[in-house]
Amino acid sequence: MNDFIAARSQMALSLGFHIIFSCIGMVMPFFMAVSHYYWLKTNNVVYKNITKAWSKGVAIFFATGAVSGTVLSFELGLLWPTFMLHAGPIFGMPFSLEGTAFFIEAIALGFFLYGWNKFNPWFHWVTGVVVGISGLVSGILVVAANGWMNSPSGFDYVDGKYINIDPVKAMFNDAWFSQALHMSIAAFVATGFAVAGVHAFMILKGKNVLFHAKAFKIAAVFGCIAAVLQPLSGDISAKDVAERQPAKLAAMEAHFHTGKSVPLIVGGIPDVKEKKVDYAIKIPGLLSFMVAGDLNAEVKGLDSIPPEDHPPVAITHYAFQIMVGIGMLLLFVAVLYFIALWKKKIWLERRWLLILFAAVTPLGFIAVEAGWTVTEVGRQPWIIQGIMRTADAVTPMPGIVYSFYIFTGVYISLAIIVVFMLYRQIKMVDKIYDIPSNSDQLKG
């Protein structure tokens, strides 16, 4: 592994790690707000216990999200100083605003976690909602910064100089909306299915069924609504990519030859040398239709792009297939669940539905990682699309390989500890929350 690959891997690792915690940080406060609301409205202590149990889990995730985010803001410079030298002032606007959002989030979190019984209950409830809203806003802002890397705007690039800078235009670049929308929904999909899955598993084991059933329902409803919306927003994203980054679209689809009436390629193994895809299912004309709304439209293939500007085709293609495959599967699960809720109440008591949810627990997060792989690897070799190459941005310091090993070790250990603690947290639900009335007084 050379230093350049190490730097890219370290960046990917850190972002891939952070995104899990930030999804949870963005979405869990909304779940908690719902159960907290039921507790205040119904006085049913199970809801209070759910809120508290979740909030303890979330505190663990928040701390990990906050430190991994702090690391990222240094890493941008540690690994890509040349990029930050030029890009910092241009795409910095969302980061400056994000500072405010984070701050509000951290303050509201202080109130929420430590404010039980200390404030007016509705003030306390609102602080929880504020945590969620500011988390969502900061997610949208940082994705807008990433959108700028895919679709640079708000400056003129003349003779290697960046002039006429307009940070506001840079923030509202062409990609920000489709990406921010898709990412926000993705966070709900991923967190919703993960949380629902864990509670489904506990119900299957017959532990604290009352507690877990209520928790399951809140998470499942959020996750399923988002799962229905996700393919729609994915379609917007795909059209957007076709327009601004034809090379990325071509790599996603392993679409080698420019032509009219292009089929949609599902699965398959791309063969970059022979410029073909083996063992794939081809749906005639569908890609043309998805991109342009016309079965005969022309879609640019990789042959229309100079070879030195090709992204890695195989990785991008596989990642895209994984994301879309999961998207379709979760859509199916969501539809089943809604049918169960509205038409076939009897299904809700069946084990197979719970088993299905337990089985898809990690899939949302896998789709998130795959989606980011599409976006980021599909942008290569550019760090700023069409302007700066990733290889020109990397730090001159040698030995990044070692730093990559260290970070890998740290993140792996952290992941293990977080999982271990969550496992204990869930195991303790029995002991802490078993007898509702009693636990309430004890833990006040």
Partner 1 sequence: MLYVVIIYLWAAILLYLLLGGADFGAGIIELFTSPKNRKRTRKVMYKAIGPVWEANHMWLIITIVILFVGFPEIYSTMSVYLHIPLVIMLMGIIARGTAFTFRHYDAVVDDMQVLYNRIFVYSSFVTPLFLGIIAGTAVSGKIDPHASTFLPAYIYSWLHWFSISVGLFTVAICGFLAAIYLIGEAENEPDRLRFIRKAKQMNVAAVLSGGLVFITAYLEKIPLIEWIFGNAAGLSAIIAATLSLVLLWYLLARGKTRVLRLLAGFQVTMILFATTVRHFPNIVMLKNNAYLSLLEHSGHEKAINMLGMALLLGSIFILPALFYLIYSFQKKDPEKLRPSAKG
Chain residues that interact with ligand HDD, rule: CB under 6 A? 150, 175, 179, 182-183, 186, 189-190, 230-231, 234-235, 237-238, 241, 323-324, 326-328, 330, 364, 367-368, 371-372, 374-375
Shortest CB 160 distance to ligand HDD, Å: 26
* Chosen residue from 155, 256, 337, 372 binding ligand HEM by CB under 6 A: 372
Contact set for partner 1, span 372-391 (CB under 8 A): none
Cβ neighbours around 141 below 10 Å, total: 22
Q: What does DSSP assign to residue 152?
A: -
Asked if 65 is part of the footprint of ligand HEM (rule: CB under 6 A), the reply reads yes
State the binding string over 116-155 for ligand HEM (x if CB under 6 A, else -).
Answer: -------------------x--xx--xx-xx---------
Shortest CB 358 distance to partner 1, Å: 22
Instruction: List the single partner that 175 binds among ligand HEM, ligand HDD, partner 1, none, CB under 5 to 8 Å by kind.
Output: ligand HDD
C-alpha angle with apex 311: 306 to 316, nearest 5 degrees?
145
Instruction: List the single partner that 285 binds among ligand HEM, ligand HDD, partner 1, none, CB under 5 to 8 Å by kind.
Output: none
What phi, psi does 101 have (nearest 5°)?
A: -60, -45
Q: What does DSSP assign to residue 348?
A: G
Asked if 18 is part of the footprint of ligand HEM (rule: CB under 6 A), the reply reads yes
Shortest CB 120 distance to partner 1, Å: 12
Q: Which stretch binds ligand HEM (CB under 6 A): 10-18, 28-36, 152-160, 164-172?
A: 10-18
Which tokens is 251 given? 């790599």
Asked if 100 is part of the footprint of ligand HEM (rule: CB under 6 A), the reply reads no
Shortest CB 10 distance to ligand HDD, Å: 19
Instruction: Report d(CA 14, CA 19) in Å as an integer.
Output: 9
Distances (CA, A) of 66 to 212, 380, 423: 28, 28, 21
Which tokens is 384 given? 């700023």
Bridge partners of 271? 276
Judge contact between 197 and 215, C-beta under 8 A.
no
What phi, psi does 49 have (nearest 5°)?
A: -65, -40
Judge contact between 229 and 239, C-beta under 8 A.
no
Instruction: Report d(CA 146, CA 163) in Å as an integer.
Output: 20
Nearer to partner 1, 119 or 347 (CB): 119
Amino acid at 436: P
Shortest CB 124 distance to ligand HDD, Å: 31
Asked if 63 is part of the footprint of partner 1 (rule: CB under 8 A), the reply reads yes
What is the largest distance, in Å, between two alpha-carbon atoms of the chain? 72
Q: Kindly report the length of the chain.
A: 444
Instruction: Report d(CA 443, CA 39) in Å as an integer.
Output: 16
Nearer to partner 1, 61 or 193 (CB): 61
List interacting residues with ligand HEM (CB under 6 A).
8, 11-12, 15-16, 18-19, 21-22, 25-26, 61-62, 65-66, 69-70, 72-73, 76, 80, 83, 102, 105-106, 135, 138-139, 142-143, 145-146, 183, 372-373, 376-377, 379-380, 383, 390
